[in-house]
Amino acid sequence: MGGATEVAQPRGGREDGPGVAVTVLGVDIGGTSVKAGLVDESGRVIEQQSQPTPHSSGDFRQLLRALAARWAGRFDAAGFGCKGLIDAASTRVIRSPGPVAFLEGLSLSEMAGLNVPARAGNDAHAAMAGEMRWGAARDHRHALLFTLGSGVGGAIVADGRLLGGVSGIAGHLGHVTVDPWGACCICGNRGCLETVFSARALEAEVWRVVNAGCATKLAGGPVTCEALFEAAAGGDRAATVILDKAVYQLAAAIAGLLFAFDPEVVILGGNIARAGVLLWRPLAAGIHERTRAFLGREVPLVPQQTSDPSGIAGAAALAMAGI
């Protein structure tokens, strides 16, 4: 948003009487767009809108206040999902990468001028909050979630609580080390899970293989995860080797976390999780092979069930528990 028009002061709080169904404002903050909407108790997004992500804190404040003004008096609480390290209770952005780094040190609820309860979390925590309320973690008190996309996100539920840890960093499962001598990660570590199993990592490996002159259907085509899985499904040896190695490392990471947290279920979300049997079958087998002797049971590996691609419902779910 541009200009310097000041939007009127805080809003929020239902104007209806008691007994009215709970409605929450959910706001998903991405690098390219900010999506917001009203979410009911069933997880249904009643109304929504999307705006390009502003490039300054002043314009961002104006956008949040405009969103709150649009639905003034129609929501009981607000939830914010944002990449990075977020303080849940204060909604303060401690650290955030790339396009929204200007939010660091700022409270999202204060920027929006809200006078209703508000909670915030990173995008994976928001996804898990949605799964706890409406999805695959609803009937479980112990669960792990991995979001497999351009990076790897994660969230942990223990004794029915979404873990944040002392500094809010708990659940950053993409930064579990799988190769101490591996590639440098954006977090400053080496060999993180995100450096071997993410869209960025898989596409980088495709480029390496193609540039090395290996015989593969991937040469000359688009370098995407979709192309990689399609080539592997068609029997391309180079693509199969890339996937086998990456899935093996993902299985090893998940197996180690099963011993650490002993969950009832492991949930996979994100674009890569939609790859089908080329991912799910060897991944489940690899995890089971590493854990069966000690765990004595097979931990279910299931897809994320909440299907709101905007992230609005997950953001709202962060706040619903506190109403």
Structural domain spans, the chain: 23-129+308-320, 139-303
- Asked if the model's pLDDT at residue 247 lies above 90, the reply is yes
State which H helix or E strand residue 112 sits in: helix 108-112
> Residue 168 has what pLDDT?
83
Q: Given CA atoms 301, 228, 28, 305 in this order, what sign does their dihedral have?
A: negative
DSSP tag of 98: G
Predicted TM-score (pTM) of the model is 0.88
Token pair 């929006």: residue: 112
Question: Could you tell me what percent of the chain has a pLDDT over 90?
Answer: 80
Say if residues 209 and 220 touch (Cβ distance below 8 Å): no
DSSP state of 235: T
Tell me the pLDDT tens digit for each residue of 46-61.
999 999 999 999 999 9
Each residue of 265-318: pLDDT tens digit? 999 999 999 999 999 999 999 999 999 999 889 999 999 998 677 799 999 999
pLDDT digits (tens, 9 = 90+) for 3-39: 321 212 233 444 444 445 799 999 999 989 999 999 9
Is the pLDDT at 177 greater than 70, yes or no? yes
| Distance (Å, whole) CA 29 – CA 145 | 20
CATH number listed for the domain at residues 139-303: 3.30.420.40
What is residue 214's DSSP assignment? Answer: -
Single out the residue of 119, 111, 110, 44 nearest to residue 78, CA to CA.
119
CATH 3.30.420.40 fits 23-129+308-320, yes or no: yes
| Token pair recorded at residue 39 | 């979410």
The mean pLDDT of the chain is 90
pLDDT of residue 10: 31
